[in-house]
């Protein structure tokens, strides 16, 4: 599996952190969560940290799983 790519984050003057994925806002963190995120991003692999914090763990098999008989309605 390839490492996550295309993430960026921006710390703002009001203490919020905006995380983007391919230039589109993925999430905005405020307060203690923003501070924890910045510490974690600076101490590890920022791309992986941003993927985890935004919940972007797609593996590409969603369409296949959706058509599985177990998910029939």
Task: Give residue-wise pLDDT tens across range 40-55.
Answer: 999 988 998 998 898 8
Encoded tokens for 10: 């921006």
According to DSSP, the residues that pair with 25 across neighbouring strands are 20
Given a cut of 70, whether residue 57 has pLDDT beyond it is no
- What value does the mean pLDDT of the chain take? 83
What would the mean pLDDT of 16-22 be, rounded to a whole number? Answer: 94
Reference 8, options 65, 66, 38, 23; nearest CA is 23
Beta strands in 1-73 (DSSP E): 7-11, 17-21, 24-29
Q: What percent of the chain has pLDDT over 70?
A: 71
Model confidence, pTM: 0.71
């Amino acid at each position: 599996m390839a490492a996550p790519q295309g993430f960026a984050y921006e710390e703002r003057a009001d203490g919020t952190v905006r995380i983007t994925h391919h230039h589109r806002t993925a999430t905005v963190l405020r307060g203690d969560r923003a501070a924890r995120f910045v510490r974690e991003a600076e101490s590890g692999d920022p791309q992986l940290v941003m993927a985890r914090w935004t919940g972007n763990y797609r593996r590409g098999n969603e369409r296949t799983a959706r058509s599985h008989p177990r998910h029939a309605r």
